[in-house]
Structure 1
Amino acid sequence: MAPTTFDPSKDIPSLTGKIILITGGTAGVGAGTITGLARCTPAHLLFTGRNADSAETTISKVRAVAPGIRISFLPCDLSDLASVQTTANKLLSDLPHLDALMCNAGIMAKPPSLSRDGYEIQFATNHLGHALLVKKLLPLLQKSPDPRIVMVSSTAWRGAPSGGIQFPKLKSPQDMPMGRWLRYGQSKLANMLYARELAKRFPGVLSFSITPGVVNTALVSESSPFTKAIVYLTSRVQTVEEGTHNLLWAITAPKETIKPGAFYEPVGLLSTLATKASKDEALAETLWNWTEAELEKWM
């Protein structure tokens, strides 16, 4: 992979007037990205999460570097569609427009379980909750002169199960050998394919997907010893600060330098990775139609 020349301290332009929302901003690369953006004076930074105490820590760090910034925390559990609906409705009533939505929150390699709404927990959190947030907030994004949606995916989509996404099993725990990684790969493939479909269906909104790389956040540090061993043996694990770079690039890079619907590796590198599932346009369309049907009652 070619070395990057992106330097967050020099290459992020002024964000004056911009309203930016990031999911999963209470820790890790989400919190770090918010702090990096705050230095460039956006009009309003908003972030979601489940831990109000951690949110206060993020806000304190942001105000230490940008004392006058407007920053708001919205409690939201992305695995619970009622919680997502409530958060989205509040944003629709409170914001005049939205310039950027970064779908960053996620869980990784969890044991088999179901969400409150009866979906496989990683697919519910990583894909379905974000898809509902996107659908609800599209009217706000379309009021911006330069809107963008960034789906934070992972190269782990290469490890999705047979067929890419096992639609008949998404309302089950999908318990199977190496299942936690297969389920994670499935959800990250959905992030990437959904961004591609958004770009196709809403060309007025710049939509694409990225990976931060493998980062030493709680997703790794709080994993089982076996999971951590796999991560460290197969990847170069970055610091949290390094992990923010691709997110900061994605929010701030000039739109003419970004290919709609594409997948970018750190930092700002158009990925050439591909699998049969990642190239399957029929699979992407099936995912879109399945998601539309599942979310209809929440709109």
Structure 2
Amino acid sequence: MPDQTPNWTTADIPDQTGRTAVITGANTGLGYETARALAAKGAHVVIAVRNLDKGKAAADLIGRRYPGADVSVQELDLTSLDSVRAAAGQLRAGHDRIDLLINNAGVMMTPKETTKDGFELQFGTNHLGHFALTGLLIDRLLASPGSRVVTVSSNGHRFGGIRFDDLQSERSYSRAGAYGQSKLANLLFTYELQRRLAGTGTIAVAAHPGASSSELGRYAPGAVRRIAPLLEQSTEMGALPTLRAAADPTVRGGQYYGPGGFLQLRGYPKLVSSNKRSYDTGVQRRLWAVSEALTGVVYPLD
């Protein structure tokens, strides 16, 4: 079926008044643009970030641009399960329902490091932290008919596999390989979550920004950083797939949105496909079980 809105932009976002959107890593880059656009449409936006000062600065900036915008800040460090649990507890205390959870924050091609819980940094931050946060907030999402979990993946998922025999890269480490594994995990998580949400009023959707200018690429190899400006689009354009996944009424659970241009690097957001590995239901279920065991967060979903 052809796309009914081929050049979808923020102008196509419906009124979000009365809706609450929690966005991780929304103090800068793609997350900030996502927060700004939803706040401009009337949503109560919660900027969930590690650095409260940067989060408050982002909230103030949105407030100056859109007087009356409803933006708050929540401390959240995805590299610490204790922080994830504390943040989820505070969000639960302040919100009986959540309409949008946008798992946006991430790290890319970092030197070998571990999270505070001993997980490889990229897998622990990009996947396990968001897996835990979503599970701890799932009842607040289920309480809101029409709610969505949007998880931001990457074209990088095509260059990784889930190494169940060395998930934490203890035997060998590749910056790109670990990043690819974490972004593939984002998709496997989304598809498995959608299957478990079947029959509820909540859906899980994924998106990716293509090649977008942001701070995320600061650890990329020099050759990648040199060629990137030739391929990149603005953060405003890069945020559109996430925004469409979050707000377009035609979106369905289990879909994946990305730029519609050459190699999904740039362009207006379209429904796209991920690689064959991401649709392997056996791997999806196995990763889910491993993620519950590693985080200690068990979802109340069959």
The TM-score with structure 2 as length reference comes to 0.89
* Correspondences of 1:68-217 after superposition (within 5 Å): 68-160=68-160, 164-173=161-170, 175-176=172-173, 179-203=174-198, 204=200, 205-217=202-214
The one-letter code of the counterpart of 1:7 is T
Give, in whole Å, the separation in 1 of the partners of 2:91 and 2:163.
Answer: 33
Give, in whole Å, the separation in 2 of the partners of 1:217 and 1:36.
Answer: 17
For 1:288, the equivalent position in structure 2 comes to 288
Deviation, 1:22, is: 0.3
For 1:11, the equivalent position in structure 2 comes to 12
Give, in whole Å, the separation in 1 of the partners of 2:242 and 2:286.
Answer: 28
Are 1:36 and 2:37 counterparts?
Answer: yes
* DSSP-derived class of the 1:34 partner: helix
Deviation track 1:25-59 (CA, whole Å, cap 9, x = no partner) reads 111010111111111112x2101112223212211
Q: Structure 1 residues 68, 269: CA separation in 2 closer, same or farther (over 3 Å shift)?
A: same
Give, in whole Å, the separation in 2 of the partners of 1:173 and 1:81.
Answer: 20
Q: Structure 1 residues 76, 5: CA separation in 2 closer, same or farther (over 3 Å shift)?
A: same
Of residues 236, 242, 245, the one that matches 1:241 is 236
Instruction: Confirm or deny: 8 A CA contact 2:127 2:186 kept in the other structure.
Output: yes
Are 1:62 and 2:57 counterparts?
Answer: no
For 2:226, the equivalent position in structure 1 comes to 229
Deviation, 1:11, is: 0.8
Q: Provide the identity percentage.
A: 34
Give, in whole Å, the separation in 2 of the partners of 1:230 and 1:282.
Answer: 37
Instruction: Confirm or deny: 8 A CA contact 2:135 2:297 kept in the other structure.
Output: no
Q: Structure 1 residues 49, 108: CA separation in 2 closer, same or farther (over 3 Å shift)?
A: same
Q: Structure 1 residues 110, 222: CA separation in 2 closer, same or farther (over 3 Å shift)?
A: closer
Give, in whole Å, the separation in 1 of the partners of 2:68 and 2:60.
Answer: 12
Count how many residue pairs are aligned between Structure 1 and Structure 2: 286
For 2:273, the equivalent position in structure 1 comes to 272
The one-letter code of the counterpart of 1:40 is K
Of residues 217, 242, 253, the one that matches 1:260 is 253
Deviation, 1:278, is: 1.9
Deviation, 1:192, is: 0.5
Give, in whole Å, the separation in 1 of the partners of 2:179 and 2:103.
Answer: 16
* DSSP-derived class of the 2:239 partner: helix
Deviation, 1:231, is: 4.2
The TM-score with structure 1 as length reference comes to 0.89
Structure 1 residues 217-226 or 18-27, which shifts more? 217-226
The one-letter code of the counterpart of 2:26 is G
Deviation, 1:227, is: 4.0
Instruction: Confirm or deny: 8 A CA contact 2:204 2:253 kept in the other structure.
Output: yes
The one-letter code of the counterpart of 2:183 is K
Give, in whole Å, the separation in 2 of the partners of 1:246 and 1:151.
Answer: 11
Instruction: Confirm or deny: 8 A CA contact 1:214 1:238 kept in the other structure.
Output: yes
Give, in whole Å, the separation in 2 of the partners of 1:54 and 1:137.
Answer: 24
Instruction: Confirm or deny: 8 A CA contact 1:112 1:175 kept in the other structure.
Output: no
The one-letter code of the counterpart of 2:7 is T
The answer for unaligned runs of 5 or more in structure 2 is: 260-267
Deviation, 1:272, is: 3.1
Instruction: Confirm or deny: 8 A CA contact 2:212 2:235 kept in the other structure.
Output: yes
Structure 1 moving runs of 4+ over 6 Å = none
Deviation, 1:245, is: 1.4
The one-letter code of the counterpart of 1:170 is L
The one-letter code of the counterpart of 1:217 is S
Deviation, 1:140, is: 0.3
Q: CA RMSD in A?
A: 2.0
* DSSP-derived class of the 1:17 partner: coil
Give, in whole Å, the separation in 1 of the partners of 2:269 and 2:171.
Answer: 34
Deviation, 1:69, is: 2.5
* DSSP-derived class of the 1:21 partner: strand
Instruction: Confirm or deny: 8 A CA contact 1:35 1:61 kept in the other structure.
Output: no
Deviation, 1:220, is: 2.1
Give, in whole Å, the separation in 1 of the partners of 2:192 and 2:115.
Answer: 25
Give, in whole Å, the separation in 2 of the partners of 1:23 and 1:95.
Answer: 16
* DSSP-derived class of the 1:169 partner: coil
